[in-house]
Amino acid sequence: MIRESDALARSPAHECALDCIEAGIEAAHPRTVVGAAVQRTGSQLRIDDAVYDLDAFERVVVLGGGKAAAQVAGELEAVLGDALTGGVVVTDDPEASDRVTVREGDHPVPSQRGVEGADAVLDEAWAADASTLVLAVITGGGSALLPAPVEAIGLEALQSVTDALLASGATIDEINTVRKHCSRLKGGRLAAAAAPATVATLVFSDVVGDDLSVIASGPTVPDGTTFADALAVLDRYDIDAPAVRDHLQAGVDGDEAETPSAGDPAFDRVSTHVLADAWTALEAARSTAADHGYETLVLSSRLRGEAREVGLTHLAVAEELVATGNPVDPPAVVLSGGELTVTVRGDGEGGPNQEFALAGAIDLPAGAVLAAVDTDGRDGASDAAGALVDSETVTDVAAARDALDDNDAGGYLGDRDARIVTGRTGTNVNDLRVLVVD
């Protein structure tokens, strides 16, 4: 999975870190997850503890989107066979399907082909009725891949506000609060379009804490945010987006309908199943580290904040392990998950995981190795998943700090052959970080 892994695996500690990364990604892949959670026995379809009688439905369709949507659709097709009658998913990592139409979109900024794909999903949802079972596939990246902008905003304005929000350092909760109120599909509106169909939502979570209303902007679940909340996000980050602001203000004034909230009849026949999340990857990585003979500790699955600051936190943990044996005696592996952000001030390359790694590498003690990846294989907008660093990665502290100031961690680490490249992985359960101290 990891390209140039032999070159990166310079010691047992490096090898352990890489094995933990691969194990975490593989554990969260649809081919691992779907078969364990979804089974068909005759006319009975079991999803976790819920059972659906396929004989009660005239149509069974897969609808949704996200980075792992095509892979999930393929696994569902393998489980359901001829009981699956059709569907549409939108992704940036397509795989062929015999029964589900796979449309391509773009991430992290929405595109025209994403709009067309989202419209196709909505058309299928509107065609559903009480005799339809909708398997709604919702995975990380769905917010950008299923844009469906309202007419008053349009694609160009949505692209502009998305760019501004991504560069501002806003959290994913804040970004998706705005996106939900700019879309015909998000914030529970896909469920409203599909009603009165039975909807079983299958979620691969890339959101800290698995907030269902935030994952892919919650197309099939109630929305607790409002137009006023979305407008407040733009004010908080001083984002100039006239068309978006006008639409949000119309919602505040009551001229646009709010997203459906808890208690709305649109959700009467909707159930939700989280099939994979950050813990899925962390548990597999922890087991792998133990197999390598290390003591293990999961620091948190919910870390968030500025990437370079969290990198310094992990550096402090590494220093503490070496100096005092706390919070766990070396040789040890400390793991964490979550989602970090970058406030863009420069024009370099890289993403949150590479900024995290470079910040931690500047003073990393001897005997420590630090790895971080986005489990989807793309760190920010770069072609790397993340990076693997040790005490010898940074040979010029001033140059490393300059790279951080220019948001050019990817350039610095690339010159030192420290980036982890996987290509698209087929899953997305957010960041996975591994600290190894021998």
- 196-209 pLDDT tens trace: 999 999 999 999 99
Which residues partner with 326 through β-bridges? none
* 8 A C-beta contact, residue 411 and residue 52: no
Cis peptide before 222 (omega within 30 of 0): no
Query: How far is Cα 377 from Cα 338, in angstroms, rounded to an integer?
Result: 15
Query: How far is Cα 64 from Cα 73, in angstroms, rounded to an integer?
Result: 9
- Asked whether the predicted pLDDT for residue 16 surpasses 90, the reply is yes
pLDDT digits (tens, 9 = 90+) for 302-337: 999 999 999 999 999 999 999 999 999 999 999 999
Enclosing H/E stretch for 172: helix 172-180
Average pLDDT, the chain: 97
pTM: 0.93
Query: How far is Cα 410 from Cα 417, in angstroms, rounded to an integer?
Result: 10
- Asked whether the predicted pLDDT for residue 292 surpasses 90, the reply is yes
pLDDT of res. 169: 86
Query: Can you give the length of the chain in residues?
Result: 438
pLDDT of res. 381: 83
44 confidence band (pLDDT: 50, 70, 90): very high
* 8 A C-beta contact, residue 64 and residue 30: no
pLDDT digits (tens, 9 = 90+) for 331-373: 999 999 999 999 999 999 999 999 999 999 999 999 999 999 9
Amino acid at site 45: L
Residue with tokens 């800290």: 208
pLDDT of res. 78: 97
132-139 β-sheet, strand order? 101-104, 86-91, 59-65, 132-139, 198-204, 270-276
Q: How many CB atoms lie within 10 A of CB 173?
A: 18
pLDDT digits (tens, 9 = 90+) for 63-108: 999 999 999 999 999 999 999 999 999 999 999 999 999 999 999 9
Q: Which token pair is 299?
A: 């620091």
Q: How many CB atoms lie within 10 A of CB 109?
A: 15
Report in angstroms the alpha-carbon separations of 308 from 76, 319, 405, 436.
39, 17, 10, 19
Give all domains of the chain, ordered by start, each with its CATH number: 5-26+279-437 (3.40.1480.10), 28-277 (3.40.50.10180)
pLDDT digits (tens, 9 = 90+) for 245-285: 999 999 999 999 999 999 999 999 999 999 999 999 999 99
User: C-alpha angle 59/63/65, rounded to 5°?
Assistant: 165
pLDDT of res. 10: 95
12 confidence band (pLDDT: 50, 70, 90): very high
